[in-house]
Amino acid sequence: MKSKYDLVVFDLDGTIADSDLGLVKIGIKMSETYLPRKDINMDDYLFLNGPTLDETMPYLFPGYPLEELIAKYNEYLPDSVKDITLFKGAKELIKTLKNNNIELALLTNRARASTEQILKRHGVHSYFKTLVCVDDGFKKKPSGEGLVHIMKTLKSAPDKTLFVGDNWRDILAGQDAGVDVAFIHQHRRPHRLDVSATYVLDDISDVLGVVQSDE
């Protein structure tokens, strides 16, 4: 397979991993200890998927110390891994890209420990050349700093790199790093209409068609 790209970088939650159930369960558990906002509903807990904890915790549980909320979230996080699955076609896509000598990396706002748990649990950890996680010291998405680090590490040029994500923070991170972005449109989530990606896809398996060269 001829490819337009030498490197494909994936986001994790909402892109290759369906983590909604696990994150909603964390939100519900936290509600047993902390009083959530008055008008909260189940969809609000999906806000845990995408933004950083600095954004989500004060939104869901206003009035509590941020450090305390994050500590409680991290306490529940390891157990939530069992509720996280890969989207249909994600593992096959990862294998196909790797078998065609395309380098793979991952950029996520999730902590490294649970990121590696998820990847190992589903047998895809070894396919990724490098991971950049929220606790690795780089600026969080929507900054492109993590992407730039990945490209430097793997010696890939921006025009030969594709970033695959599922929300506007991913799109802005890709734009900030100067790379093409394939946006997996999760219709159950709101999307900023003023942010546009290079490609808009309905399914993770559609990434293969984007990567394949017409030549």
Does residue 77 sit in the same domain as residue 119? no
* Tens digits of pLDDT across the chain (215 residues): 889 999 999 999 999 999 989 988 999 999 989 988 877 877 788 777 777 889 889 989 999 999 999 999 999 988 999 999 999 999 999 999 999 999 999 999 998 999 999 999 999 999 999 999 999 999 999 999 999 999 999 999 999 999 999 988 999 999 999 999 999 986 555 555 567 899 999 899 999 999 997 65
Does residue 107 sit in the same domain as residue 134? yes
Does residue 141 sit in the same domain as residue 196? yes
Does residue 13 sit in the same domain as residue 25? no
Domain boundary pick from 53, 68, 83:
83
Residue 55 has a pLDDT of 87
Residue 132 has a pLDDT of 98
Does residue 52 sit in the same domain as residue 35? yes
Write out the chain in H/E/C secondary structure.
CCECCCEEEECCECCCEECHHHHHHHHHHHHCCCCCCCCCCHHHHHHHCCCCHHHHHHHHCCCCCHHHHHHHHHHHHHHHHHHCEECCCHHHHHHHHHHCCCEEEEECCCCHHHHHHHHHHCCCHHHCCEEECHHHCCCCCCCCHHHHHHHHHHCCCHHHEEEEECCHHHHHHHHHHCCEEEEECCCCCCCCCCCCCCEEECCHHHHHHHHECCC
Residue 196 has a pLDDT of 87
Does residue 78 sit in the same domain as residue 113? no
**In sequence order, what are the residues at sequence separation of 6 or more whose Cβ sits closer than 8 angstroms to the Cβ of residue 209?**
none
Domain of residue 181, residue span: 7-18+84-211
Does residue 93 sit in the same domain as residue 193? yes
- Whole-model pTM: value is 0.91
Domain boundary pick from 83, 115, 131:
83
Does residue 45 sit in the same domain as residue 90? no
CATH number at residue 109: 3.40.50.1000
Does residue 44 sit in the same domain as residue 90? no
Domain boundary pick from 29, 53, 83:
83
Is residue 143 included in any domain, yes or no?
A: yes
Number of domains in the chain: 2
Is residue 2 included in any domain, yes or no?
A: no
Residue 36 has a pLDDT of 85
